[in-house]
Chains A and B, each alone.
Chain A
Protein backbone atom coordinates (compact mmCIF):
# COMPACT_ATOMS: atom_id res chain seq x y z
CA UNK A 1 0.00 0.00 0.00
CA UNK A 2 1.38 3.39 -0.82
CA UNK A 3 0.32 6.75 0.43
CA UNK A 4 -2.26 8.70 -1.50
CA UNK A 5 -1.14 12.31 -1.40
CA UNK A 6 -4.75 13.37 -0.88
CA UNK A 7 -4.34 12.13 2.70
CA UNK A 8 -1.75 14.84 3.41
CA UNK A 9 -2.83 18.18 4.84
CA UNK A 10 -2.81 21.14 2.47
CA UNK A 11 -2.85 24.90 2.76
CA UNK A 12 -6.63 24.73 2.55
CA UNK A 13 -6.68 23.22 6.04
CA UNK A 14 -6.71 26.19 8.43
CA UNK A 15 -4.22 24.55 10.81
CA UNK A 16 -1.80 23.95 7.92
CA UNK A 17 -2.25 27.13 5.91
CA UNK A 18 1.38 28.18 6.33
CA UNK A 19 2.92 24.71 6.17
CA UNK A 20 2.06 23.04 2.90
CA UNK A 21 2.85 19.37 3.43
CA UNK A 22 1.17 18.08 0.30
CA UNK A 23 2.94 20.66 -1.85
CA UNK A 24 6.36 19.40 -0.73
CA UNK A 25 5.90 15.65 -0.19
CA UNK A 26 6.23 14.32 -3.73
CA UNK A 27 9.15 11.95 -4.12
CA UNK A 28 10.36 12.16 -0.52
CA UNK A 29 11.81 8.90 0.83
CA UNK A 30 9.84 7.19 3.58
CA UNK A 31 6.40 8.49 2.64
CA UNK A 32 4.82 5.02 2.80
CA UNK A 33 7.22 3.25 5.13
CA UNK A 34 7.60 2.64 8.84
CA UNK A 35 10.58 4.28 10.55
CA UNK A 36 13.10 2.52 12.76
CA UNK A 37 13.93 4.66 15.75
CA UNK A 38 16.63 3.81 18.24
CA UNK A 39 15.94 4.07 21.95
CA UNK A 40 18.34 4.37 24.85
CA UNK A 41 16.38 3.59 27.98
CA UNK A 42 17.14 4.62 31.52
CA UNK A 43 17.14 1.87 34.12
CA UNK A 44 13.65 0.70 35.11
CA UNK A 45 11.96 2.06 31.99
CA UNK A 46 10.59 -0.62 29.68
CA UNK A 47 9.77 -0.71 26.00
CA UNK A 48 7.56 -3.08 24.00
CA UNK A 49 6.41 -3.20 20.42
CA UNK A 50 2.65 -3.50 20.55
CA UNK A 51 0.08 -3.71 17.81
CA UNK A 52 -2.30 -1.59 19.86
CA UNK A 53 -4.29 0.75 17.73
CA UNK A 54 -6.29 2.58 20.34
CA UNK A 55 -4.26 5.79 20.37
CA UNK A 56 -6.90 8.47 20.55
CA UNK A 57 -5.24 10.84 18.14
CA UNK A 58 -7.19 12.10 15.21
CA UNK A 59 -5.01 14.60 13.39
CA UNK A 60 -4.35 13.86 9.70
CA UNK A 61 -0.71 13.07 10.38
CA UNK A 62 -1.68 10.72 13.25
CA UNK A 63 -3.95 8.82 10.90
CA UNK A 64 -1.10 8.45 8.42
CA UNK A 65 1.20 7.20 11.15
CA UNK A 66 -1.46 4.60 12.04
CA UNK A 67 -1.72 3.49 8.44
CA UNK A 68 2.00 3.30 7.66
CA UNK A 69 3.89 3.28 10.96
CA UNK A 70 3.37 -0.38 11.82
CA UNK A 71 3.41 -1.26 15.50
CA UNK A 72 3.55 1.20 18.37
CA UNK A 73 6.68 1.60 20.47
CA UNK A 74 5.17 1.57 23.96
CA UNK A 75 7.39 2.92 26.70
CA UNK A 76 6.42 2.57 30.32
CA UNK A 77 7.76 4.45 33.33
CA UNK A 78 6.45 2.64 36.43
CA UNK A 79 4.82 4.66 39.21
CA UNK A 80 7.29 6.44 41.45
CA UNK A 81 10.33 5.75 39.24
CA UNK A 82 12.72 8.68 38.93
CA UNK A 83 15.54 7.45 36.71
CA UNK A 84 18.83 9.33 36.78
CA UNK A 85 19.41 9.34 33.02
CA UNK A 86 17.23 10.43 30.11
CA UNK A 87 15.38 8.43 27.49
CA UNK A 88 17.18 9.18 24.25
CA UNK A 89 15.42 8.73 20.93
CA UNK A 90 17.52 8.75 17.77
CA UNK A 91 17.37 7.53 14.17
CA UNK A 92 14.27 9.57 13.57
CA UNK A 93 15.55 9.87 10.03
CA UNK A 94 12.65 8.74 7.78
CA UNK A 95 9.24 7.09 7.71
CA UNK A 96 6.21 7.02 9.97
CA UNK A 97 6.81 6.34 13.64
CA UNK A 98 4.42 5.85 16.54
CA UNK A 99 5.59 6.13 20.11
CA UNK A 100 3.55 5.89 23.26
CA UNK A 101 4.96 6.92 26.63
CA UNK A 102 3.14 6.29 29.89
CA UNK A 103 4.57 8.00 32.93
CA UNK A 104 3.15 6.48 36.11
CA UNK A 105 1.98 8.26 39.22
CA UNK A 106 4.79 10.30 40.80
CA UNK A 107 7.27 9.11 38.17
CA UNK A 108 9.62 11.33 36.23
CA UNK A 109 11.07 11.10 32.76
CA UNK A 110 13.50 13.18 30.74
CA UNK A 111 13.32 12.63 27.00
CA UNK A 112 15.87 13.86 24.49
CA UNK A 113 14.82 13.53 20.85
CA UNK A 114 17.33 13.93 18.03
CA UNK A 115 15.42 14.86 14.91
CA UNK A 116 17.82 14.57 12.01
CA UNK A 117 16.65 13.15 8.71
CA UNK A 118 18.27 11.53 5.70
CA UNK A 119 18.68 13.61 2.59
CA UNK A 120 15.36 13.77 0.71
CA UNK A 121 13.47 12.03 3.49
CA UNK A 122 10.02 12.32 4.94
CA UNK A 123 9.56 11.70 8.67
CA UNK A 124 6.29 11.63 10.54
CA UNK A 125 6.53 11.05 14.26
CA UNK A 126 3.32 10.69 16.19
CA UNK A 127 3.89 10.54 19.91
CA UNK A 128 1.42 10.10 22.73
CA UNK A 129 2.47 10.86 26.28
CA UNK A 130 0.33 10.34 29.35
CA UNK A 131 1.34 11.81 32.69
CA UNK A 132 -0.49 10.31 35.64
CA UNK A 133 -0.96 12.31 38.85
CA UNK A 134 2.20 14.12 40.02
CA UNK A 135 4.20 12.73 37.11
CA UNK A 136 6.89 14.85 35.47
CA UNK A 137 8.10 15.12 31.89
CA UNK A 138 11.15 17.05 30.75
CA UNK A 139 11.25 16.91 26.96
CA UNK A 140 13.96 18.31 24.69
CA UNK A 141 13.74 18.31 20.91
CA UNK A 142 16.85 18.96 18.87
CA UNK A 143 15.97 19.36 15.24
CA UNK A 144 18.37 19.81 12.35
CA UNK A 145 17.37 18.33 9.00
CA UNK A 146 19.12 18.50 5.64
CA UNK A 147 17.58 21.27 3.54
CA UNK A 148 15.71 18.76 1.36
CA UNK A 149 14.12 16.78 4.20
CA UNK A 150 10.56 17.02 5.50
CA UNK A 151 9.37 16.36 9.01
CA UNK A 152 6.21 16.49 11.05
CA UNK A 153 6.45 15.79 14.77
CA UNK A 154 3.26 15.73 16.79
CA UNK A 155 3.16 15.14 20.53
CA UNK A 156 -0.22 14.52 22.12
CA UNK A 157 0.34 14.98 25.82
CA UNK A 158 -2.34 14.22 28.39
CA UNK A 159 -1.67 15.42 31.91
CA UNK A 160 -3.51 14.59 35.13
CA UNK A 161 -3.52 16.24 38.58
CA UNK A 162 -0.32 18.01 39.66
CA UNK A 163 1.60 16.89 36.60
CA UNK A 164 4.60 18.95 35.52
CA UNK A 165 5.89 19.42 31.99
CA UNK A 166 8.97 21.27 30.81
CA UNK A 167 9.58 21.23 27.10
CA UNK A 168 12.24 22.95 25.03
CA UNK A 169 12.60 22.69 21.30
CA UNK A 170 15.56 23.90 19.28
CA UNK A 171 15.02 23.82 15.53
CA UNK A 172 17.35 24.65 12.66
CA UNK A 173 14.64 23.60 10.23
CA UNK A 174 14.61 21.56 7.06
CA UNK A 175 12.90 21.91 3.71
CA UNK A 176 9.59 21.83 5.56
CA UNK A 177 9.19 21.02 9.23
CA UNK A 178 6.51 21.24 11.83
CA UNK A 179 6.92 20.58 15.54
CA UNK A 180 3.48 20.41 17.07
CA UNK A 181 2.56 20.01 20.71
CA UNK A 182 -0.96 19.28 21.83
CA UNK A 183 -1.48 19.34 25.57
CA UNK A 184 -4.71 18.13 27.11
CA UNK A 185 -4.83 19.29 30.72
CA UNK A 186 -7.24 16.86 32.36
CA UNK A 187 -6.24 17.42 35.97
CA UNK A 188 -5.88 20.24 38.46
CA UNK A 189 -2.75 22.20 39.22
CA UNK A 190 -0.75 21.24 36.16
CA UNK A 191 2.39 23.26 35.49
CA UNK A 192 3.79 23.45 31.98
CA UNK A 193 6.66 25.37 30.43
CA UNK A 194 6.67 25.06 26.65
CA UNK A 195 9.60 26.93 25.15
CA UNK A 196 11.27 26.86 21.79
CA UNK A 197 13.68 28.56 19.46
CA UNK A 198 14.07 28.36 15.71
CA UNK A 199 17.06 29.54 13.70
CA UNK A 200 16.58 29.39 9.97
CA UNK A 201 18.67 30.22 6.94
CA UNK A 202 18.54 29.42 3.23
CA UNK A 203 15.01 28.43 2.29
CA UNK A 204 14.36 26.45 5.46
CA UNK A 205 10.98 26.31 7.13
CA UNK A 206 10.02 25.55 10.70
CA UNK A 207 6.53 25.65 12.09
CA UNK A 208 6.06 25.55 15.84
CA UNK A 209 2.42 24.92 16.56
CA UNK A 210 0.79 24.26 19.90
CA UNK A 211 -2.66 23.69 21.24
CA UNK A 212 -3.17 23.79 24.99
CA UNK A 213 -6.59 22.58 26.11
CA UNK A 214 -7.33 23.09 29.80
CA UNK A 215 -10.31 21.51 31.50
CA UNK A 216 -9.47 21.71 35.22
CA UNK A 217 -8.63 24.53 37.64
CA UNK A 218 -5.33 26.00 38.88
CA UNK A 219 -3.06 25.28 35.95
CA UNK A 220 -0.03 27.39 35.06
CA UNK A 221 1.27 27.58 31.50
CA UNK A 222 4.34 29.50 30.38
CA UNK A 223 5.16 29.51 26.71
CA UNK A 224 8.01 31.45 25.08
CA UNK A 225 9.09 30.85 21.50
CA UNK A 226 11.79 32.89 19.82
CA UNK A 227 12.86 32.81 16.23
CA UNK A 228 15.60 34.14 13.99
CA UNK A 229 15.13 34.06 10.23
CA UNK A 230 17.57 35.06 7.55
CA UNK A 231 18.00 34.63 3.76
CA UNK A 232 14.66 33.38 2.37
CA UNK A 233 13.70 31.21 5.31
CA UNK A 234 10.32 31.06 6.92
CA UNK A 235 9.25 30.72 10.54
CA UNK A 236 5.73 29.91 11.64
CA UNK A 237 4.31 30.16 15.13
CA UNK A 238 0.76 29.08 15.91
CA UNK A 239 -0.27 28.94 19.55
CA UNK A 240 -3.66 28.44 21.08
CA UNK A 241 -4.81 28.39 24.67
CA UNK A 242 -8.24 26.88 25.03
CA UNK A 243 -9.46 27.47 28.57
CA UNK A 244 -12.70 25.60 29.25
CA UNK A 245 -15.29 26.68 31.75
CA UNK A 246 -14.13 24.51 34.71
CA UNK A 247 -10.50 25.70 34.28
CA UNK A 248 -10.78 28.56 36.78
CA UNK A 249 -7.64 30.24 38.14
CA UNK A 250 -5.74 29.37 35.02
CA UNK A 251 -2.56 31.42 34.76
CA UNK A 252 -1.28 31.27 31.20
CA UNK A 253 1.20 33.31 29.21
CA UNK A 254 2.18 32.96 25.57
CA UNK A 255 5.03 34.87 23.92
CA UNK A 256 6.46 34.73 20.44
CA UNK A 257 9.28 37.03 19.39
CA UNK A 258 11.08 36.90 16.08
CA UNK A 259 14.08 38.65 14.60
CA UNK A 260 14.21 39.18 10.86
CA UNK A 261 17.79 39.37 9.68
CA UNK A 262 16.94 39.70 6.00
CA UNK A 263 14.19 41.38 4.01
CA UNK A 264 13.39 38.21 2.06
CA UNK A 265 12.78 36.07 5.16
CA UNK A 266 9.28 35.53 6.47
CA UNK A 267 7.60 35.08 9.83
CA UNK A 268 3.98 34.08 10.23
CA UNK A 269 2.40 34.17 13.63
CA UNK A 270 -1.01 33.35 15.00
CA UNK A 271 -1.50 33.52 18.76
CA UNK A 272 -5.01 32.62 19.90
CA UNK A 273 -6.85 32.64 23.20
CA UNK A 274 -10.21 30.98 23.57
CA UNK A 275 -11.45 31.41 27.11
CA UNK A 276 -14.70 30.26 28.70
CA UNK A 277 -13.71 30.48 32.39
CA UNK A 278 -14.20 33.88 34.01
CA UNK A 279 -11.53 33.90 36.71
CA UNK A 280 -8.30 33.47 34.75
CA UNK A 281 -5.16 35.36 33.84
CA UNK A 282 -4.23 34.77 30.23
CA UNK A 283 -1.90 36.87 28.14
CA UNK A 284 -0.18 36.69 24.83
CA UNK A 285 2.46 38.81 23.15
CA UNK A 286 3.99 38.76 19.73
CA UNK A 287 6.79 40.86 18.25
CA UNK A 288 8.71 40.80 15.00
CA UNK A 289 11.71 43.07 14.77
CA UNK A 290 15.27 43.68 13.70
CA UNK A 291 18.54 44.14 15.52
CA UNK A 292 18.93 47.58 17.05
CA UNK A 293 21.24 49.65 14.79
CA UNK A 294 22.28 51.97 17.63
CA UNK A 295 23.28 49.02 19.80
CA UNK A 296 25.29 47.60 16.89
CA UNK A 297 27.15 50.91 16.44
CA UNK A 298 27.85 51.09 20.16
CA UNK A 299 29.36 47.59 20.11
CA UNK A 300 31.44 48.35 17.01
CA UNK A 301 32.70 51.57 18.62
CA UNK A 302 34.06 49.38 21.38
CA UNK A 303 35.92 47.29 18.81
CA UNK A 304 33.53 44.37 18.30
CA UNK A 305 33.36 43.57 14.55
CA UNK A 306 29.92 43.85 12.96
CA UNK A 307 29.41 40.09 12.46
CA UNK A 308 30.36 39.35 16.04
CA UNK A 309 28.16 42.16 17.35
CA UNK A 310 25.20 40.77 15.42
CA UNK A 311 25.88 37.25 16.73
CA UNK A 312 26.14 38.44 20.34
CA UNK A 313 22.87 40.37 20.18
CA UNK A 314 21.09 37.49 18.42
CA UNK A 315 22.37 34.93 20.90
CA UNK A 316 21.27 37.11 23.80
CA UNK A 317 17.84 37.45 22.22
CA UNK A 318 17.39 33.70 21.79
CA UNK A 319 18.93 32.02 24.74
CA UNK A 320 16.58 33.18 27.48
CA UNK A 321 14.06 30.56 26.38
CA UNK A 322 16.50 27.94 27.70
CA UNK A 323 17.13 29.67 31.04
CA UNK A 324 14.88 27.29 32.98
CA UNK A 325 16.51 24.05 31.81
CA UNK A 326 17.40 21.79 34.70
CA UNK A 327 20.07 19.76 32.86
CA UNK A 328 23.02 22.15 32.74
CA UNK A 329 25.10 19.99 30.34
CA UNK A 330 22.21 19.67 27.92
CA UNK A 331 21.61 23.41 28.13
CA UNK A 332 25.26 24.11 27.32
CA UNK A 333 25.10 21.76 24.33
CA UNK A 334 22.04 23.62 23.00
CA UNK A 335 23.75 26.98 23.48
CA UNK A 336 26.82 25.69 21.64
CA UNK A 337 24.64 24.63 18.71
CA UNK A 338 23.20 28.13 18.62
CA UNK A 339 26.68 29.70 18.76
CA UNK A 340 27.92 27.44 15.97
CA UNK A 341 24.97 28.37 13.81
CA UNK A 342 25.56 32.08 14.47
CA UNK A 343 29.27 31.72 13.71
CA UNK A 344 28.66 30.46 10.18
CA UNK A 345 25.53 32.45 9.28
Chain B
Protein backbone atom coordinates (compact mmCIF):
# COMPACT_ATOMS: atom_id res chain seq x y z
CA UNK B 1 0.00 0.00 0.00
CA UNK B 2 2.60 2.57 1.10
CA UNK B 3 6.04 2.12 -0.39
CA UNK B 4 8.94 4.27 0.77
CA UNK B 5 12.07 3.68 -1.23
CA UNK B 6 15.52 5.06 -0.36
CA UNK B 7 14.06 8.33 0.93
CA UNK B 8 16.38 11.17 1.81
CA UNK B 9 15.17 14.46 3.30
CA UNK B 10 16.64 17.59 4.81
CA UNK B 11 15.53 20.57 6.88
CA UNK B 12 16.92 24.10 7.35
CA UNK B 13 16.84 24.86 3.62
CA UNK B 14 18.66 21.64 2.79
CA UNK B 15 21.45 22.26 5.30
CA UNK B 16 20.64 19.43 7.66
CA UNK B 17 19.98 15.91 6.34
CA UNK B 18 17.62 13.94 8.57
CA UNK B 19 16.51 10.94 6.54
CA UNK B 20 19.33 9.08 4.81
CA UNK B 21 17.96 6.39 2.56
CA UNK B 22 14.90 5.17 4.41
CA UNK B 23 13.00 2.25 2.87
CA UNK B 24 9.80 0.80 4.26
CA UNK B 25 6.80 -1.02 2.85
CA UNK B 26 3.46 -1.21 4.63
CA UNK B 27 0.94 -3.51 2.95
CA UNK B 28 -2.79 -2.82 3.19
CA UNK B 29 -4.31 -4.26 6.34
CA UNK B 30 -1.11 -4.01 8.36
CA UNK B 31 -0.07 -1.81 11.26
CA UNK B 32 3.62 -1.00 11.47
CA UNK B 33 5.34 0.77 14.32
CA UNK B 34 8.44 2.89 13.92
CA UNK B 35 10.37 3.34 17.12
CA UNK B 36 13.60 5.12 17.78
CA UNK B 37 15.54 7.52 19.94
CA UNK B 38 14.81 11.23 20.02
CA UNK B 39 16.24 13.03 17.02
CA UNK B 40 16.26 9.92 14.83
CA UNK B 41 13.94 11.56 12.32
CA UNK B 42 10.58 10.12 13.40
CA UNK B 43 8.64 13.39 13.19
CA UNK B 44 10.49 14.35 10.02
CA UNK B 45 9.21 11.13 8.45
CA UNK B 46 5.62 12.06 9.36
CA UNK B 47 6.00 15.57 7.88
CA UNK B 48 7.70 14.34 4.71
CA UNK B 49 4.86 11.86 4.15
CA UNK B 50 2.28 14.63 4.53
CA UNK B 51 4.11 17.37 2.60
CA UNK B 52 4.91 19.98 5.19
CA UNK B 53 6.86 22.99 3.93
CA UNK B 54 10.42 23.18 5.18
CA UNK B 55 10.97 19.41 4.90
CA UNK B 56 12.74 18.97 1.60
CA UNK B 57 12.88 15.61 -0.10
CA UNK B 58 16.30 15.28 -1.72
CA UNK B 59 15.94 11.76 -3.09
CA UNK B 60 13.92 8.56 -3.17
CA UNK B 61 10.26 7.78 -3.70
CA UNK B 62 7.05 7.54 -1.73
CA UNK B 63 4.06 5.85 -3.35
CA UNK B 64 0.57 5.22 -2.06
CA UNK B 65 -1.20 2.54 -4.09
CA UNK B 66 1.26 3.22 -6.90
CA UNK B 67 0.72 7.01 -6.91
CA UNK B 68 3.64 9.33 -6.27
CA UNK B 69 2.77 11.24 -3.10
CA UNK B 70 5.78 13.54 -3.21
CA UNK B 71 4.38 15.54 -6.14
CA UNK B 72 1.16 16.38 -4.29
CA UNK B 73 0.20 19.32 -2.08
CA UNK B 74 -0.72 18.45 1.52
CA UNK B 75 -4.46 18.77 0.77
CA UNK B 76 -4.17 16.47 -2.26
CA UNK B 77 -2.46 13.82 -0.14
CA UNK B 78 -5.24 14.19 2.44
CA UNK B 79 -7.85 13.67 -0.27
CA UNK B 80 -5.96 10.53 -1.35
CA UNK B 81 -6.53 9.31 2.19
CA UNK B 82 -3.34 10.18 4.07
CA UNK B 83 -4.04 11.27 7.63
CA UNK B 84 -1.55 12.46 10.21
CA UNK B 85 -2.43 12.41 13.87
CA UNK B 86 -0.21 15.24 15.11
CA UNK B 87 2.12 14.98 18.06
CA UNK B 88 1.10 18.53 18.96
CA UNK B 89 -2.34 19.24 17.43
CA UNK B 90 -2.74 22.90 16.44
CA UNK B 91 -5.26 25.29 17.92
CA UNK B 92 -7.53 26.87 15.30
CA UNK B 93 -8.99 29.99 16.91
CA UNK B 94 -12.42 31.13 15.81
CA UNK B 95 -13.27 28.01 13.78
CA UNK B 96 -15.72 25.72 15.58
CA UNK B 97 -14.65 22.06 15.58
CA UNK B 98 -17.74 20.94 13.65
CA UNK B 99 -17.31 23.64 10.99
CA UNK B 100 -13.67 22.71 10.60
CA UNK B 101 -14.32 19.02 10.26
CA UNK B 102 -17.26 19.33 7.91
CA UNK B 103 -15.25 21.70 5.70
CA UNK B 104 -12.38 19.19 5.67
CA UNK B 105 -14.59 16.20 4.98
CA UNK B 106 -16.45 17.86 2.14
CA UNK B 107 -13.26 19.34 0.64
CA UNK B 108 -11.82 15.82 0.50
CA UNK B 109 -14.99 14.43 -1.02
CA UNK B 110 -15.08 17.21 -3.58
CA UNK B 111 -11.45 16.56 -4.52
CA UNK B 112 -12.30 12.88 -5.06
CA UNK B 113 -15.35 13.74 -7.13
CA UNK B 114 -17.73 12.40 -4.49
CA UNK B 115 -20.93 13.94 -3.24
CA UNK B 116 -20.79 16.13 -0.13
CA UNK B 117 -22.05 14.71 3.14
CA UNK B 118 -25.32 16.36 4.13
CA UNK B 119 -25.57 18.32 7.36
CA UNK B 120 -27.95 15.89 9.10
CA UNK B 121 -25.87 12.86 8.14
CA UNK B 122 -22.71 14.60 9.34
CA UNK B 123 -24.36 15.58 12.60
CA UNK B 124 -25.63 12.07 13.27
CA UNK B 125 -22.29 10.44 12.58
CA UNK B 126 -20.29 12.96 14.60
CA UNK B 127 -22.56 12.74 17.62
CA UNK B 128 -22.36 8.96 17.75
CA UNK B 129 -18.57 8.98 17.43
CA UNK B 130 -18.14 11.73 20.00
CA UNK B 131 -20.09 9.61 22.45
CA UNK B 132 -17.86 6.60 21.82
CA UNK B 133 -14.75 8.69 22.40
CA UNK B 134 -16.24 10.37 25.49
CA UNK B 135 -16.05 13.80 23.86
CA UNK B 136 -18.61 16.20 25.31
CA UNK B 137 -21.01 17.66 22.70
CA UNK B 138 -20.17 21.25 23.70
CA UNK B 139 -16.52 20.63 22.80
CA UNK B 140 -17.57 20.18 19.19
CA UNK B 141 -19.02 23.70 19.16
CA UNK B 142 -15.88 25.27 20.53
CA UNK B 143 -13.03 26.46 18.30
CA UNK B 144 -10.91 23.43 17.44
CA UNK B 145 -8.41 22.53 20.18
CA UNK B 146 -8.53 26.03 21.71
CA UNK B 147 -8.21 25.62 25.47
CA UNK B 148 -8.37 21.80 25.21
CA UNK B 149 -6.07 19.78 27.45
CA UNK B 150 -3.32 17.65 25.90
CA UNK B 151 -5.43 14.53 26.29
CA UNK B 152 -8.51 16.20 24.81
CA UNK B 153 -6.51 17.30 21.78
CA UNK B 154 -5.31 13.74 21.19
CA UNK B 155 -8.83 12.38 21.49
CA UNK B 156 -9.94 15.04 19.03
CA UNK B 157 -7.30 13.78 16.58
CA UNK B 158 -8.78 10.29 16.79
CA UNK B 159 -12.27 11.74 16.43
CA UNK B 160 -11.23 13.53 13.23
CA UNK B 161 -9.54 10.37 12.00
CA UNK B 162 -12.67 8.31 12.51
CA UNK B 163 -14.84 10.94 10.84
CA UNK B 164 -12.56 11.27 7.81
CA UNK B 165 -11.98 7.49 7.43
CA UNK B 166 -8.56 7.81 5.79
CA UNK B 167 -6.92 4.97 3.85
CA UNK B 168 -3.51 5.43 5.37
CA UNK B 169 -2.91 6.71 8.89
CA UNK B 170 0.28 8.10 10.38
CA UNK B 171 0.21 8.52 14.14
CA UNK B 172 2.98 10.67 15.58
CA UNK B 173 3.54 10.09 19.32
CA UNK B 174 -0.17 9.71 19.89
CA UNK B 175 0.30 8.35 23.40
CA UNK B 176 2.12 11.40 24.74
CA UNK B 177 -0.05 13.38 27.11
CA UNK B 178 -2.57 10.57 27.58
CA UNK B 179 -3.42 8.90 30.86
CA UNK B 180 -4.23 5.20 30.88
CA UNK B 181 -8.00 5.66 30.52
CA UNK B 182 -7.63 8.07 27.61
CA UNK B 183 -5.04 5.77 26.05
CA UNK B 184 -7.52 2.90 26.15
CA UNK B 185 -10.25 5.03 24.52
CA UNK B 186 -7.86 6.17 21.80
CA UNK B 187 -6.56 2.63 21.18
CA UNK B 188 -10.10 1.25 20.96
CA UNK B 189 -10.88 3.86 18.32
CA UNK B 190 -7.76 3.03 16.34
CA UNK B 191 -8.35 -0.72 16.55
CA UNK B 192 -11.87 -0.22 15.20
CA UNK B 193 -10.34 1.35 12.12
CA UNK B 194 -8.09 -1.63 11.40
CA UNK B 195 -9.30 -3.33 8.29
CA UNK B 196 -7.90 -5.15 5.23
CA UNK B 197 -7.94 -1.99 3.07
CA UNK B 198 -6.25 0.35 5.49
CA UNK B 199 -2.61 0.74 6.49
CA UNK B 200 -1.18 2.40 9.59
CA UNK B 201 2.19 3.72 10.63
CA UNK B 202 2.59 4.32 14.35
CA UNK B 203 5.50 6.50 15.33
CA UNK B 204 6.36 6.21 18.99
CA UNK B 205 9.19 6.61 21.41
CA UNK B 206 7.72 4.23 23.99
CA UNK B 207 6.37 0.74 23.71
CA UNK B 208 3.34 1.50 25.95
CA UNK B 209 0.95 2.36 23.12
CA UNK B 210 1.81 -0.93 21.39
CA UNK B 211 0.33 -2.88 24.31
CA UNK B 212 -3.02 -1.48 23.19
CA UNK B 213 -2.51 -1.31 19.43
CA UNK B 214 -0.59 -4.48 18.61
CA UNK B 215 1.48 -3.94 15.45
CA UNK B 216 2.20 -6.46 12.72
CA UNK B 217 5.77 -5.25 12.44
CA UNK B 218 8.11 -3.04 14.46
CA UNK B 219 10.99 -1.08 12.94
CA UNK B 220 13.82 0.85 14.52
CA UNK B 221 14.54 4.25 12.97
CA UNK B 222 18.12 5.31 13.72
CA UNK B 223 20.59 7.39 11.79
CA UNK B 224 17.92 8.39 9.28
CA UNK B 225 17.10 4.86 8.09
CA UNK B 226 15.46 1.64 9.22
CA UNK B 227 18.13 -0.04 11.28
CA UNK B 228 16.25 -3.20 12.29
CA UNK B 229 12.82 -4.80 12.05
CA UNK B 230 10.89 -7.43 13.94
CA UNK B 231 7.48 -8.57 15.14
CA UNK B 232 5.38 -7.14 17.98
CA UNK B 233 7.61 -8.72 20.64
CA UNK B 234 10.56 -6.82 19.22
CA UNK B 235 9.10 -3.63 20.71
CA UNK B 236 9.34 -5.11 24.22
CA UNK B 237 12.96 -6.05 23.62
CA UNK B 238 13.69 -2.49 22.44
CA UNK B 239 12.00 -1.01 25.48
CA UNK B 240 14.10 -3.24 27.76
CA UNK B 241 17.43 -2.86 25.98
CA UNK B 242 17.24 0.68 24.61
CA UNK B 243 18.35 1.91 21.20
CA UNK B 244 22.10 2.07 21.84
CA UNK B 245 22.79 -0.98 19.73
CA UNK B 246 21.33 0.79 16.68
CA UNK B 247 23.03 4.13 17.08
CA UNK B 248 24.49 5.29 13.81
Contacts and interface: CB of A to CB of B under 8 A. Distances in A.
A341 interface: no
B95 interface: yes
A303 B53 contact: no
A129 interface: no
B178 interface: no
Contact of A313 (B75, B84, B92, B164): B92
Interface in A47-92: none
B237 interface: no
A298 B100 CA distance: 11
A319 B160 CA distance: 25
A304 B101 CA distance: 9
A316 B95 contact: yes
A302 B94 contact: no
Contact of B74 (A294, A301, A313, A317): A301
B200 interface: no
Categorize the interface residue count of chain B: 20 to 34
A302 B100 CA distance: 9
A315 B100 CA distance: 13
B78 A300 contact: yes
B94 A303 contact: no
Interface residues of A, number: 22
Contacts, number: 74
Interface string A312-338: 110111011000000000000000000
A306 B75 contact: yes
Contacts of B143: 316
A295 B164 CA distance: 18
Contacts of A297: 52-53, 74
B75 A305 contact: yes
A297 B53 CA distance: 8
Given A302-B104, A303-B111, A293 B53 contact: yes
A contact face: mostly helix, strand, loop, or mixed: helix
Nearest to A320: B94
B2 to A, nearest CB: 16
B164 A298 contact: no
Contacts of A302: 78, 100-101, 104, 160, 164
Nearest to B50: A301
A303 B108 contact: yes
A301 B143 CA distance: 18
B25 to A, nearest CB: 23
B107 A308 contact: yes
B94 A319 contact: yes
A292 B95 CA distance: 14
Interface string B102-120: 0111011001000000000
B104 A304 contact: yes
A106 B190 CA distance: 62
Nearest to B89: A298
A300 B75 contact: yes
Given A303-B164, A306-B73, A317 B105 contact: no
Given A308-B103, A312-B103, A301 B78 contact: yes
Interface string B72-99: 0111011100011010011111110001
A141 interface: no
Contacts of A294: 90
A-B CB proximity, top 9 nearest: A316-B94, A303-B78, A303-B108, A302-B104, A300-B74, A298-B90, A300-B75, A303-B104, A303-B107
Interface of B: 50-53, 73-75, 77-79, 83-84, 86, 89-95, 99-101, 103-105, 107-108, 111, 143, 160, 164
Given A303-B104, A303-B105, A304-B107, 10 more contacts: A297-B53, A298-B92, A300-B78, A301-B78, A301-B83, A302-B101, A302-B160, A304-B75, A312-B95, A316-B95
Interface of A: 292-295, 297-306, 308, 312-313, 315-317, 319-320
7 contacts: A300-B73, A300-B78, A301-B86, A302-B100, A303-B104, A316-B92, A317-B94
